[in-house]
Amino acid sequence: MADQRKRADKTRTLREAIKEFVHDGCSLTLGGFCGRNSQAAAYEIVRQNRRNLTVIDDSPTDQLDILIGAGCIRRVEIAWHGVSLFSLARNFRRAVEEKIPQPIEVEDYSNYAAGLRFMAKAMNVPFLPTRSLLGSDIPKHNERIKIIRDPYEGEPVALVPAASPDVAIIHVQRADKQGNAQIWGHLANDENKARAAKHTVVTCEEIVKEKDILKIPNMTALPSYCVDALVKIPYGSHPWSCYGYYYHDIIFQRDYAKNNETRLSFLKWLDEWILSCEDQNEYCRKVGKARLSRLAKMERAINRIPV
Amino acid sequence: MTREEHAKGYSHAELMAVLAAKEIRDGDKVFVGIGVPMIAGFLAVHSHAPNAVLMFEGGYLGSHPPMVCTDVGDSVLGFGAPYVTSSWRTFSDLQHGYCDIGIIGSAQVDKYGNVNSTSILDGGNHENPKIRLPGSGGANDIASSAGRVLIMARLEKRRFVPRVDYITSPGHIEGYESRRTAGLKGGGPVAVITDRAGFRFDGDTKEMYLSHLYPGVSVEEVKKEVGWNLRVAEHMETVEPPTKAQIHFMRSYDPTDVILRRRHLFESIDFPSWSRLAMSSWEKHARRA
């Protein structure tokens, strides 16, 4: 692993990266937070038919719902799961309530607690304390959360365990070949997810030269030493927004939410948009060049990256 | 204050947004989630609370977007935001005590303002619930640490229960001093806003009571929808209907109807029309911001 992270050129295809790092039975976290999501990576995991995965995350959206519906997921450790404003995550509900397509274990946290779990491992400490979760039923049904008396002041605090997924996949705006990855807009928990994971795959809109990274080094959220592999994947967050690159395709997501209502219509959607698209290029062709360009135009009307 | 003209037609969601907005004071740091709470936050910023700072858990703070959006990490929240950061930092600021008020939704709420958004058991148990809901998200964190908490709920008997199936977000727990005993630093719920009535909490017992009636709604009607012996304020207040200006603002700020959902526009609109409608409204509101 150490040698891998020292390589000068970490680029590979998405197919290669998923094959190399995401194995049956492994644990996984996906970057972003209702924007700059690792959507294309989730689609590729479905195409490669990975099984028995555990997802450790904060508030995953449709990318997890799709993975659950495709039968890839055995367990989730999360704070929230839905499809934005549009719907409850129907595949998640079917898995919990009806064990379809398979039963799923759920371990609940809050968003802050989920973020602290990644921070703990990023700091390489076993847990972190918080004043969230106290007085709620979340710790009653999650024995890994411990309520203790703070040894200094004597007040109650909740401890949440460090999370170390086998792999983190983080989508960013741009990176150099070595994997120095720059993020504009909200960072979500991605700096800590990348450091907490045993392996980190960065997917990006653009690969730039090192001198472009050096122009504005404050924006480097993930240094190359915590990155194993780099994949260029334009529109890798679609239908979610990617700050400075393209706006949120709300209509695509509305249509997904209509289609995940029933098992049958979901499977049809899955086949149409993921399984029958060989890769991200084909998915983008299917969404349509004009539509993607329009999303890019919308985003530029709001946010521009100043370099 | 000048007398403003009341709107004639408005939806429950619009009235709830107006009432939630009224709870926001100028200069407040406001933690808002998706849906009606978000439009309430922006209504406050664009009316009586121009210095309120809206905090979004993805990591956007103080945003002045040109329209509402469907989630809390949307890039439109980057517009007019003086501070963009990480999710954990946003929550750390909340836990530190910077946040004056937070607004949360609920699937079930009980007489002490405890909120359930995790699971409806209905004869099942936590592992096998009747309905699995999305879970806490940031709601537990807001309920734990915000100075004041506002709960949004629909007034229905199955939602207003004596005790929630699962406390996702603590209200006043068992009443009296139980929040403090549990170690919580935030003030807890101050109001519950529904589609037909408003509720507040007793200063000592911390029990919820009926405080505000909406136009045309009776106390008996409200009591029928509450699953415990509801206390009623001695001096009941009747809420004012929204003003024309408030309604106009909300509708133009939600040009494609994603939150208010009053015209069924969003269900059927195609991509090009959605995109055109959104962008033309951006030009107007971006200037205002």
CATH number of A2-109+164-206+216-302: 3.40.1080.10
Residue A215 has pLDDT above 50, yes or no: yes
Average pLDDT over residues A126-145: 98
Q: Is B88 in Cβ contact with A112 (below 8 Å)?
A: yes
Question: CA A101 to CA A97: how far, in whole Å?
Answer: 11
Task: Please tell me whether the interface predicted TM-score (ipTM) of this complex is above 0.95.
Answer: yes
Band the pLDDT of B211: cuts 50, 70, 90: very high
Average pLDDT over residues A267-283: 98
DSSP code of B169? B
Residue A181 · residue A222 · CB < 8 Å? yes
pLDDT for A221-245, tens place per residue?
A: 999 999 999 999 999 999 999 999 9
Give me the helices (H) in A165-249, please.
190-196, 210-215
Q: Which residue shows structure tokens 């700091």? A: A123
Beta carbons within 10 angstroms of residue B207's beta carbon? 17
Residues 16-45 of B with CB under 8 A from A: 34-35
Residue B88 · residue A123 · CB < 8 Å? no
Q: Which residue shows structure tokens 């890039």? A: B75
First to last CA, chain B: 24
Query: Mean pLDDT for chain A?
Result: 96
pLDDT for B46-70, tens place per residue?
A: 999 999 999 999 999 999 999 999 9
Residue A44 has pLDDT above 70, yes or no: yes
Identify the helix (H) or strand (E) that includes residue A167: strand A167-175
Q: Provide the edge-to-edge strand list for the sheet that holds B83-84.
A: B83-84, B60-61, B53-56, B29-32, B101-105, B148-152, B189-193, B197-201, B208-213, B231-238
Band the pLDDT of B288: cuts 50, 70, 90: low
B5 has catalytic annotation: no
Band the pLDDT of B287: cuts 50, 70, 90: low
Q: What is the CATH T-level fold of the domain B12-288, as seen in this structure?
A: Glutaconate Coenzyme A-transferase (3.40.1080)
Q: Is A135 in Cβ contact with B85 (below 8 Å)?
A: no
pLDDT-above-90 percentage for chain A: 95
Enumerate the domain spans of chain A.
Answer: 2-109+164-206+216-302, 127-161
Among B17, B192, B23, B8, which residue's Cα sits nearest to residue B101? B23
Average pLDDT over residues B236-244: 94
Band the pLDDT of B1: cuts 50, 70, 90: very low
Question: CA B88 to CA A33: how far, in whole Å?
Answer: 12
Question: CA A36 to CA A251: how far, in whole Å?
Answer: 17
Q: Is B85 in Cβ contact with A187 (below 8 Å)?
A: yes
Single-letter amino acid code for the residue at A275: L
pLDDT for B161-192, tens place per residue?
A: 999 999 999 999 999 999 999 999 999 999 99
Kindly list the residues from chain A whose CB atom is less than 8 angstroms away from the CB atom of residue B278. 298
Task: Using the CB atoms, write b or e for A28-67: b if 16+ within 10 Å.
Answer: bbbbbbbbbbbbbbbbbbbbeebeebbbbbbbbbbbbbbb
Burial of B220 (0-12, 13-18, 19+ CB in 10 A): exposed
Give me the helices (H) in chain A, please.
2-6, 14-21, 39-47, 62-69, 90-93, 111-122, 190-196, 210-215, 250-259, 263-270, 280-287, 289-302
Residue B150 at interface with chain A, using a CB cutoff of 8 Å: no
Residue B286 has pLDDT above 80, yes or no: no
Residues 175-204 of B with CB under 8 A from A: 178-179, 182-185
pLDDT score, position B3:
56
Measured between CA atoms, how close is A35 to chain B, in angstroms?
Answer: 5
pLDDT for A119-134, tens place per residue?
A: 999 999 999 999 999 9
- Residue B288 backbone dihedrals phi, psi, to 5 degrees: -60, -40
Band the pLDDT of B2: cuts 50, 70, 90: very low
Average pLDDT over residues B9-24: 95
Range in A82-86, A149-153, A160-164 with the lowest mean pLDDT: A82-86
Q: Is A136 in Cβ contact with B76 (below 8 Å)?
A: no
Q: Which of A29, A34, A94 to mutate to test the interface with B (most CBs of B within 10 A)?
A: A34
Enumerate the domain spans of chain B.
Answer: 12-288
| Interstrand relation of A199-207 and A167-175 (parallel, antiparallel or unpaired) | parallel
DSSP characters for B58-83? Answer: TTEES---SS--SSTT-GGGGTT-SE
Question: CA B126 to CA B245: how far, in whole Å?
Answer: 46
First to last CA, chain A: 33
Query: Mean pLDDT for chain B?
Result: 94
Average pLDDT over residues A291-295: 98
Q: Which of A39, A57, A80, A150 to mutate to test the interface with B (most CBs of B within 10 A)?
A: A80
Q: Is B269 in Cβ contact with A251 (below 8 Å)?
A: yes
Indicate the length of chain A as a whole number.
307
Residue A2's contacts (CB-CB under 8 Å, 6 or more residues apart) are: none
pLDDT score, position A23:
98
pLDDT for B106-147, tens place per residue?
A: 999 999 999 999 999 998 998 899 999 999 999 999 999 999
- The size of the A-B interface in CB pairs under 8 A is 227
DSSP characters for A10-61? Answer: -B--HHHHHHHH--TT-EEEE--SSSS--HHHHHHHHHTT--SEEEE-SS--
Range in A78-92, A195-209, A265-279, B10-24 with the lowest mean pLDDT: A78-92
Identify the helix (H) or strand (E) that includes residue B222: helix B219-224
Kindly list the residues from chain B whose CB atom is less than 8 angstroms away from the CB atom of residue A239. none
Q: Is B129 in Cβ contact with A96 (below 8 Å)?
A: yes
